[in-house]
Amino acid sequence: MSETSTRETFAVVGTDTGVGKTIVTSGLVGWLREEGVAARAVKPVQTGYPPDDDTEFVAEACGTDDAAICIERLEPPLAPRVAAEQVGAELSYAAIREGCERALAASEVGVLEGVGGVRVPDRSPPDRRRAALVRPRRLREPRPRSRRAASRPTPSS
């Protein structure tokens, strides 16, 4: 892995707007930066902009503009697809995902901040919901430490 590619990515998600995702994101990115880690927050879509600007909040909390980036901004304070339709804009899942990937690749640790709730309506196919933006960022499956560990049964839920 190159020195500039993301080594870890965390997703900060919530059940709705106003539940503290941006505060958690700014705290995590700020702490990592204080520890000398090149961390960056990435917000796929910001609605209600202006006055709401989550990336500005994170940047101010961290003391630097490069602490956070937003891929798409829309003025109406609505679910992203609804806001886009209202202003005649087109939201491209592929473009948003590509923008997130580029922004995350420029940091050691990326913090992907969710948009509204995880399953906020977006009129996308199920595999294109905001939850799907988080899924590809999951890190590798944990590997068993030994063959013996691999053969142990896992507790059922």
Q: Which residues are catalytic?
A: 43
Beta bridge partner(s), residue 69: 42
Which of 42, 93, 36 is CA-nearest to residue 66? 42
Q: What is the radius of gyration, based on Cα positions, of the chain?
A: 17
Cis peptide before 44 (omega within 30 of 0): no
Instruction: Give the angle 138-142-145 at the CA atoms, nearest 5°.
Output: 165
Which of 102, 38, 51 is CA-nearest to residue 77? 51
Phi, psi of 23 (to 5 degrees): -65, -45
| Integer Cα distance of 109 and 79 in angstroms | 27
